[in-house]
Amino acid sequence: MEIKPQKTARRPMYAAALAAAASAAVLTGCGTAGEVAIEGDGPTPVAQQITVITDTTPDTTETTARKTELILDGDMVVETERPPQVMGLIPPVTDPSDELQLEGEATVCPAYQNENESARLRGLMDADRLIAGFEKAGYSLAETDVWLNLPEMDLQAALLDKDANVMVLFYDGSADEYGESCETVLRRSLAGFEPAIRDWGANAKVRDAVGEHRAVFVDINKYGEMTEEAAEKIANNVTEMIP
C-alpha cells in the first residue's frame, strides 16, 4: 500500500455518455422550463460565465420537505436510490441535487443533500475576497457585520436586533428546498424592503428595532468563482446604499 498520486484519470464511458445525453436535451429545448430570469443590471463578464438553467418543476406527487438531511453518524451516506415506498411510513425523498448537472454549471455538492448548506460553505470560503472587494470600494465589513446563517428567509426574524450595518447571505438561487426555487422565495421575502435585484443576487434595506441595515444576498450560481472584479462590483452596488 502506498500513497501514489495519479498523473491522469480516465473519463469513464458512462459519464461521457450521460453528459452527452444531457447536452442534447438542452439543445432540443428540454430542461429550460425553470430558467431564472435576472432583472436589474445588464450582464457582466462574470455573469456571462455561467448560464443558469434549471429544470426544477416541482413534482407534487412527492414531498420535498426534508432536504436538510441529517446523516447517520458513523458513516457518510449518499442517497441515490429512492427508498421503497411503504404506505403510512416514510415519505419518499427527492433530492434535486441528485439530478445530472450540465457541464459548466456551478457545482453544488450533492452529498450535502442541501444546496444552500453547500452554498453557504462555498460563500464563506469566498468571504475574504468579498471583504477585499468591499475594502476596495471604500467600505470595511467590520466585525459587527453579520454573515447570515443558511436560508433564513424570514428576514425580519433573522435580522431582528442585530447590531450590524451590512449582512451577507450566500445562497443557491436554483435550489428548491422549499418546493420552489430559492430565487422565488427570496424575491417574495424581499418584497417591502426596497430590494435591488442584481445580476449577482440582490440587496435591500432592512429596518428593525435597532436601525437600518443593508442585507446582501449573493447567489453562488451567478458569480461562479468569486473573482476580484465580481467582489468589487457587489461592493459598489451595495455601498451605493450605505450612508
Choose between 125 and 210: whose C-beta lies nearer to other proteins. 125
Choose between 166 and 196: whose C-beta lies nearer to other proteins. 166
Choose between 171 and 237: whose C-beta lies nearer to other proteins. 171
- 3-class state of residue 145 by DSSP: coil
Cβ 20 to other proteins shortest distance, Å:
11
Cβ 24 to other proteins shortest distance, Å:
12
Cβ 119 to other proteins shortest distance, Å:
11
Choose between 89 and 209: whose C-beta lies nearer to other proteins. 89
- 3-class state of residue 21 by DSSP: helix
Cβ 243 to other proteins shortest distance, Å:
26
Choose between 147 and 241: whose C-beta lies nearer to other proteins. 147
154's grid cell: 424570514
Cβ 85 to other proteins shortest distance, Å:
9
Q: Report whether 83 contacts 93 (CB < 8 A).
A: yes
136's grid cell: 476596495
Cβ 77 to other proteins shortest distance, Å:
6
Contacts of range 118-126, beta carbons closer than 8 Å, 24 or more positions apart: 118/172, 119/170, 119/171, 119/172, 119/175, 119/220, 120/149, 120/150, 120/169, 120/170, 120/171, 122/170, 122/220, 123/168, 123/169, 123/170, 123/171, 123/218, 123/220, 124/170, 126/170, 126/225, 126/226
Choose between 69 and 208: whose C-beta lies nearer to other proteins. 69
In sequence order, what are the residues at sequence separation of 6 or more whose Cβ sits closer than 8 angstroms to the Cβ of residue 74? none
Query: Would you tell me which residues interact with other proteins (CB under 8 A)?
Result: 1-10, 12-15, 17-19, 21-22, 65-66, 68-84, 86, 89-90, 97-101, 103, 107-112, 114, 117-118, 120-121, 124-125, 127-128, 147, 149-153, 177
